[in-house]
Amino acid sequence: MALPRMAPGWRLAARVALAVFGGYALASAFAMAVPPLLPASLAQAVLAATLAGFVVHVLAVLWTFTQTDLRRASAGLLLPALAMAAFGLLMRGPGA
């Protein structure tokens, strides 16, 4: 079933919201999943992952606006964010 076409203003608003909030979700999941993989102390690994998360957010915003289909853009942000968040939760271990 085809989705109804949105007005250009609403499409832009939806894309901006997806870029901001989807990019934030992706950057947060990245910052949660990467520290266990880094060969540094926990504090340094968290700091490095958080700083790299800013780059991930910027790249997610750029990627969102390069996609022509809003569904593809949302899937491209939210599916990796869910996968990285699940990986980060699994790496935390019990009782963390």
Q: How far apart are CA 25 and CA 42, in angstroms?
A: 22
Q: What Rg, from alpha-carbon coordinates, does the chain have? A: 16
Q: Which residue is it, tokens 């250009």?
A: 8
pTM of the model: 0.87
For residue 84, is pLDDT > 80?
yes
- Closest by Cα among 21, 46, 26, 29 to 87: 29
pLDDT score recorded for residue 2: 57
pLDDT digits (tens, 9 = 90+) for 26-75: 999 999 999 999 999 989 999 999 999 999 999 999 999 999 899 999 99
For residue 5, is pLDDT > 90?
no
Residues 6+ apart with CB under 8 A from 80: 26, 29
